[in-house]
Chains A and B, each alone.
Chain A
Amino acid sequence: MSKPRPCLPAALSVALLLSAALAQQTVTVRVQVRDYADFTRLTLEASAKLETTLSRTGATLDIQVDSPASLRLQTAPVSSRLVRSINWGRRGGRAILTVELKSSTFTYNAFTAGQPFQLMLDFREGEEEAKPPAGEKVSAPPPIARASAPPASGVRTIVLDPGHGGIECGAKGKLGALEKDVTLAIGLKLKAIIERNLSFRVVMTRDKDTEVSLENRAALANNNDALLFISIHANGSYKKSSNGSETFFLSLNALDEEIRRLAYFENTQAELEDRIAAREEEQDVLRMILWDMAQAAHIRQSSRLAELIQAELNALLGTANRGIKQAPFKVLTEVACPAVLVEVAFLSNPDEERRLVSEGFQNNVAQAIYQGLVSYIRLYPPEGGR
């Protein structure tokens, strides 16, 4: 204590500043539990990123929450099939949420999402490891999208687009399978998996055998401010032996050279719009061209999404890797978010046609697309949604 005097005011002010800063940084943590068709989801939502550690003993699961900021802890009353109670406690200065389940035989999957921070725990009854149930019934997907109030302000929409529909059958297999049926079956399975595991809203361009124009499919994505657009197709080729999976993103094949250059290299939507605006005098023409070119501003992210989905398709299906490709797909041109078109396998190939109509294969495809989507979201976490 050789020179306590000059130090004390400084230390005091630092402490004051720190506590002021911390006081400002009070983080509200909200927990709610909700039952879905075949699982129970606990959502822990906070206004800032938290470090969480999970530890399980018997029928209880402790969630330890670490944060430099002070926490304001909130819980809603619990009434659930699987969860008996949730209680906040403190141990060694750390906040711990104790989740007590009704049975000690349960499994759970944990997921986090950013902005606002969310930790989600999906509880299921039983001992077995969590895995995508094979041959599950998809007729009653979990009612997340229909939940009365969206869980949080930041929930974004993923649009799934099962190709064709109604009188528009798409490619036809030799054994009679139609592209429109295969795409719908896979689309519904993918929807169920996303809703079971992620806190995104899923909107389908069609959920039954109806005709939807390509323009309306893109519009549905744009009107919902979609985070991603995934179009599902089954391929058809003149070449009988064609086989394998391909993931496409849009090729700006015959667009104006400068727009192509901008789209491929450094660009922002604004820059692209400025350049187009500078080239076009008439307002109507301008608007039409912008709408037409909506996908141009998202080409790079679309190609990343395509890569990640294709990698999972190759790994999971064991189909030949045909790689990611570009083609001028009409349905992608007007989508104003990262967008890909997955050609799952070839209906024109009888071997693959047989696989395409099987539930197991359809489940695997849905699972692979889902895994690719998760990798993408990890790479590009959605910003605070609108």
Chain B
Amino acid sequence: MSRQRILVLVVLSLTLVLAAALFFFSGNGEAPEIEAGVPGPEETPLPPEETAMKRVILFFLSEADGLLHPEERSIVAGPSVEWEARRLVQELIKGSQAGLISPLPPESELRQVFITRDGTAVVDFSREFGDRHPSGSSAEMATVYCLVNSLTHNFKPIKKVFILVNGGERETLNGHISLTQPFLPLPSLIAE
């Protein structure tokens, strides 16, 4: 009798352990895609050896209709969304290769991109981004949405963009458009 009882106990506890294991493993399956981004010094790892490329679409301004037009570009595929987002912003600063207008001041340097848990890409530029900007409402809107639409279009995890200048919050880009709130993409500025 007591043997039987022990057997029952063993079977029961095994079932429990199995059930628990199943529960935890299935739970682990949904790990968040985005790491809470605290930029570290090790943040610029070498690209993978085969240097896989990634096609991205950059948006630049058109003299013809004043809207944002797509321009395809290849960037080196990287280990994380942040890594690739940095490459993309650097390409935006370099400007259009197809004769479109580049609304990011060419003097500006990208300091950092990191992505928060809620999908906000925090993009930190050097002070030239604001100081060398020509000012004007339309010019500032073009700059902001060239950046915001390009980032959100290419990277699903990026839902909105918050712009920092020289590591801190700046009231406006250069006198008009507020930088104190994150920006959602504005598809209406993109040409059909």
Contact = CB atoms under 8 A, between A and B. Distances in A.
B181 A171 contact: no
B146 to A, nearest CB: 10
Contacts of B62: 239
Given A237-B142, A239-B63, A239-B101, A348 B178 contact: no
A179 interface: yes
A150 interface: no
B138 interface: yes
Contacts, number: 92
Interface stretch (A14-22, A51-59, A154-162, A328-336): A328-336
A247 to B, nearest CB: 11
Interface string B168-191: 000110011110111110100000
Contact-size category for B: 20 to 34
Contact of B178 (A172, A237, A328): A328
A241 interface: yes
A334 B58 CA distance: 34
Interface stretch (A129-137, A192-200, A201-209, A248-256): A248-256
Interface in A197-252: 214, 233, 235-242, 246, 248
A348 B101 CA distance: 14
A237 B136 contact: yes
A347 B176 CA distance: 15
B172 A171 contact: no
B136 A333 contact: no
Contacts of A179: 135-136
Which DSSP category, helix, strand, loop or mixed, fits chain B's interface? Answer: loop
A321 B103 CA distance: 23
A238 B181 contact: no
Interface residues of A, number: 34
A238 B137 contact: no
A237 B138 contact: yes
B61 interface: yes
A236 B135 CA distance: 6
A54 to B, nearest CB: 44
B139 A343 contact: no
Interface in A325-357: 327-330, 333, 341, 343, 346-348
Contacts of B103: 238
A235 B178 contact: no
Contacts of B171: 214, 330
A228 B150 CA distance: 37
A202 to B, nearest CB: 23
Given A164-B175, A239-B101, A171 B184 contact: no
Contacts of B134: 171-172, 236, 238, 348
A170 B183 CA distance: 22
Nearest to B144: A328
A253 B137 contact: no
Contacts of B186: 253
Given A327-B137, A329-B137, A237 B66 contact: yes
Contacts of B66: 237, 239, 242
A169 B142 CA distance: 20
25 contacts: A170-B175, A171-B134, A171-B135, A171-B136, A179-B135, A214-B172, A233-B137, A235-B136, A235-B137, A236-B134, A236-B138, A237-B136, A238-B103, A238-B142, A239-B61, A239-B101, A240-B63, A242-B138, A253-B184, A292-B180, A329-B137, A329-B178, A330-B180, A341-B137, A343-B138
- Give me the 9 closest cross-chain CB pairs, A-B, nearest first: A236-B136, A330-B178, A171-B136, A237-B138, A254-B182, A254-B181, A328-B178, A330-B172, A171-B135
Given A246-B137, A327-B176, 20 more contacts: A171-B139, A214-B171, A233-B176, A236-B136, A236-B138, A237-B136, A237-B142, A238-B101, A238-B103, A241-B63, A253-B186, A327-B177, A329-B137, A329-B177, A330-B171, A330-B172, A330-B176, A333-B178, A343-B138, A346-B136
